[in-house]
Amino acid sequence: MFETDGNDAAAGRQGPLAGTVVVDLTRALAGPHAGMMMADLGARVIKVETPGTGDDTRSWGPPFVEGSDGEAVATYFLSCNRNKESIALDLKSDDGREVLTALVRRADVLMENFRPGTLDRLGFSPERLADLNPRLVVLSISGFGHDGPEGGRAGYDQIAQGEAGLMSLTGSGPDDPQRVGVPIGDLLSGMYGAYGVLAALLERERTGRGQVVRTSLLASIIGVHAFQGTRWTVAGEVPRAQGNHHPSIAPYGLFRCADGAVQIACGNESLWRRLCAEFGLDPDAEGLATNAERVARRQQVIDLLESTFADIDGETLLARLSGAGVPAGKVRNLQEVYEWEQTRSQGLLVDVEHPTLGEVTLPGPPLRFFAPDGTETTPSEHTSPPLLDQHGQALRAWLQEG
Integer Rg of the chain from CA: 25
- Please list, in sequence order, all residues whose beta carbon lies within 8 angstroms of the beta carbon of residue 66, skipping any fewer than 6 positions away: 72, 73
Average pLDDT over residues 256-270: 96
Bridge-based pairing of strands 84-88 and 44-49 is parallel
Active site residue 94: no
The CB density around residue 357, as the number of other CB atoms within 10 Å, is 18
Tens digit of each residue's pLDDT (9 = 90 or more) over 96-115:
999 999 999 999 999 999 98
Q: How many CB atoms lie within 10 A of CB 98?
A: 12
Q: Which of 379, 338, 345, 342 is nearest to 361 (CA)?
A: 338
pLDDT of residue 10: 45
CB hemisphere CA count around 382 (13 angstroms): 28
Whole-number Å distance between alpha carbons of 397 and 402: 9
Residue 326 has φ and ψ, to the nearest 5°, of -100, 120
Marked catalytic residue, from 176, 186, 259, 313: 186
Confidence of residue 251 (pLDDT cuts 50, 70, 90): very high
From residue 234, how far is each of 81, 237, 248 by CA, in Å? 41, 8, 15
Q: Give per-residue pLDDT as tens, 209-237.
A: 999 999 999 999 999 999 999 999 999 99
Alpha carbon 199 to its chain centroid, in Å, reads 18
Residue 112 in contact with residue 140, Cβ under 8 Å? yes
pLDDT in tens, 324-376: 999 999 999 999 999 999 999 999 999 999 999 999 999 999 999 999 999 99
Q: According to the model, what pLDDT value does residue 7 have?
A: 41
What percent of the chain is predicted at pLDDT more than 70?
97
- Give yes or no for a contact between 81 and 51, defined as CB atoms under 8 angstroms apart: no
pLDDT at site 152: 82
Helix axes 392-400, 94-106, angle to 10 degrees: 70
Give the mean pLDDT of 235-246.
95
Q: Would the pLDDT of 1 be above 80?
A: no
How far is the C-alpha of 348 from the C-alpha of 353, rounded, in Å? Answer: 17
CATH architecture group of domain 252-329: 2-Layer Sandwich (3.30)
- 314-323 vs 269-279: helix crossing angle, rounded to 10: 120
Predicted pLDDT at 57: 96
14 pLDDT above the threshold of 90: no
Q: How far apart are CA 387 and CA 73, in angstroms?
A: 9
- pLDDT of res. 6: 42
Share of the chain above pLDDT 90, in %: 93
| Mean pLDDT, rounded, for 291-295 | 97
Beta strand residue intervals within 239-296, DSSP E: 252-257, 260-265
Task: Kindly report the number of other CB atoms within 10 A of residue 339's CB atom.
Answer: 12
Whether 9 has a pLDDT exceeding 60, the answer reads no
pLDDT above 50 for 2 = no
Asked if pLDDT for residue 156 goes beyond 70, the answer is yes
Q: Looking at residue 13, what is its pLDDT?
A: 75
Domain ranges in the chain? Answer: 7-224+348-400, 252-329
Mean pLDDT of the chain: 94
State the pLDDT at residue 11: 52
Terminal alpha carbon distance of the chain: 15
pLDDT band at 155 (very low <50, low <70, confident <90, very high): confident
pTM: 0.92
Residue 323 has pLDDT above 60, yes or no: yes
Q: What is the amino acid identity at position 265?
A: A
Residues contacting 253, CB < 8 A, separation 6+: 243, 244, 245, 246, 263, 264, 302
Q: What angle, 0 to 180 degrees and rounded to 10, lies between the N-to-C axes of helices 184-207 and 30-40?
A: 50
pLDDT category of residue 12 using cuts at 50, 70 and 90? low
Cβ atoms 350, 382 nearer than 8 A: yes
Beta bridge partners of 135: none
In CATH terms, the fold of domain 7-224+348-400 is Rossmann fold (3.40.50)
CA distances (Å), origin 11, targets 39, 45, 115, 247: 11, 10, 31, 49
The percent helix, strand, coil of the chain (3-state, each to 5) is 35, 15, 45
